[in-house]
Structure 1
């Protein structure tokens, strides 16, 4: 049974690690179910379904966020645990900005195409929920280091590395010849940024993502990675369908967001003072990457040129929770 906002509130007397574990388990259960019917409408519905949890986490339970990095089930730690516990050949595929919305297609198609699904769950991004934060958690100063073919500081020892932006079949044909692989592709982040301006936003992204994740080219690439290896498919961060967030109506708050964040949902800031509103409208957090302020909850505001329909970097659930799926394919 799905966790409700009320049942989440009843958990607040427990330790933050327990609450974050339960929240991530619940969000995975909701978002990973098979998709039927109109894809765009279903993704909008599922996004709306998470709204109640985001509301509690930005109001009664906002003080859970300072515990997020220490207590949520982190993707970077899950990858390191997988790497050290897997004695045979192994691979990791990071799909940039893959969110829990896209997990059902991977699970459904893997089973159809003869892959063995060993497990799936939700794990957490670094903060801010962007590419560089995740790269740093894995021992790299930036993602571009992966183009060297091997990164000595990478916390997945001995992995051959690749960073791809090309079509899937080209990627499949240019994988490093090595038993252990760490591969990063810039899809769907590249698509998300293309659709971030005015327009259909989440609806178009949902349809385009389904086309890719049910297509032969993508699965040829996955087959090359998974054959003879245990493969993890995961992401550095998710994304927010910020075009569906409610507008900030209070003029003072709107001006505060515009001045503090511009068009983004986080900002580097050494100012650790709480805003004077209660519950707060944003949070100062000291993260592993430094001091930042984060817009709290599903709030939206306009800036010159409009506002983003799709975005990431913030602390809504579908920005910070990503799929962590383990597959294999027999030789």
Structure 2
């Protein structure tokens, strides 16, 4: 698959903010379409592959755009803060850890079928690096666990962007999570699914296909939507994520010399805090970027290498669209 000429022209000629908007729109268009019944794994694999050309273009021809990412995209944390401030009490936020654009179609399709209306749906951007703690920090929390058991109101994290909200961070079955939702007007629930399952789908013979099967089962289940209905009862509900993930098991292998540097620097990861310069390759195999969360080195694009125990099949932290672009969906329950 090749990139549309209009997109290439925008990337080459438009200001960084317009270029990033075009990239987000392109990813959204390809990932938001309804899933073909009985063909979820094939559809998701195809969509993932359709963005490989964009990632390749960014990694080899337009990597300078990454330096402008933070200042150019609608960052999820800021969009959430603005949304919270714009509405009166009667608000709920569900953060699904590592929910990428791949999961978006089930949310949109099931919402309509289950009596919800979509108030808005748009792509937003993760923090740099696209990991859990930077997102928590951007929201005003020291870490994800700070939200647990209403920790957002224990005095230690009162500087967060959700003043007045009851907070929770948990990895519970949906039915048990729903039982935690009380009558408080404002709620923020950070659920650890699907992030905590990425490693479980990292074994040989597993990966994106088996994760997709699990995602379809969860996001189409009565239990999940009963949980959402509890959150949305008397409240506006936003569903979003801290970051996405990469189907890294499908990435091409790096050459020997490149792989040795990447293995030594990143082990089996995708980003590392460092003041060292990036590798001396052109196009670059990694990039040094400064962000609100400090200076990090990042793996540039879709690449993997041999590492002890095998390179992860599913991971996050690097510079590809599906690691960084996440859904931001506001729902209301139809009375």
Please, what TM-score do these two structures have when normalized by structure 2?
0.95
1:297 and 1:121, CA in 2 relative to 1: closer, same or farther beyond 3 A?
A: same
- Asked whether the 8 Å contact 1:9–1:61 carries over to 2, the reply is no
Specify which of 233, 237, 240 is matched with residue 231 of structure 1: 237
Contact 1:247 1:299 in 2 (8 A): yes
Structure 2 distance, partners of 1:312, 1:229, is 32
SS of aligned partner of 1:247 = coil
2:7 counterpart residue number: 8
1:304: how far off? 1.5
Distance in 2 (CA, whole Å) between partners of 1:32 and 1:9 is: 21
Q: Contact 2:272–2:297 at 8 Å: present in 1 too?
A: yes
Matching of residue 302 in structure 1 with residue 302 in structure 2: no
Select 2:161's aligned residue among 123, 141, 155. 155
3-state SS of 2:314 partner: coil
User: 2:234, 2:334 → 1: CA distance?
Assistant: 6
SS in 2 for 1:240: coil
Alignment size in residue pairs: 328
Look up the match of 1:44: 45
1:268 to 252, 267, 273: 273
- The unaligned stretches of length 5 or more in structure 2 are none
Number of the residue aligned with 1:315 = 319
- In structure 1, the partner of 2:202 is 196
State the distance in 2 between where 1:7 and 1:294 align: 28
Corresponding residue for residue 142 of structure 2: 141
The question of whether the paired residues in 2 share the 8 Å contact of 1:161 and 1:176 is answered with: no
TM-score with structure 1 setting the length: 0.96
- After superposition, the C-alpha distances for 1:81-138 in whole angstroms (9 at most, x for unaligned) are 1111112411100000001000000100000000111121111000111110100010
Q: Provide the rounded CA distance (Å) in 2 between the counterparts of 1:66 and 1:198.
A: 35
Q: Measure the CA separation in 2 of the matches of 1:46 and 1:66.
A: 26
Q: How far did 1:3 drift?
A: 9.2
Q: Does the aligned pair in 2 maintain the 1:32–1:103 contact within 8 Å?
A: yes
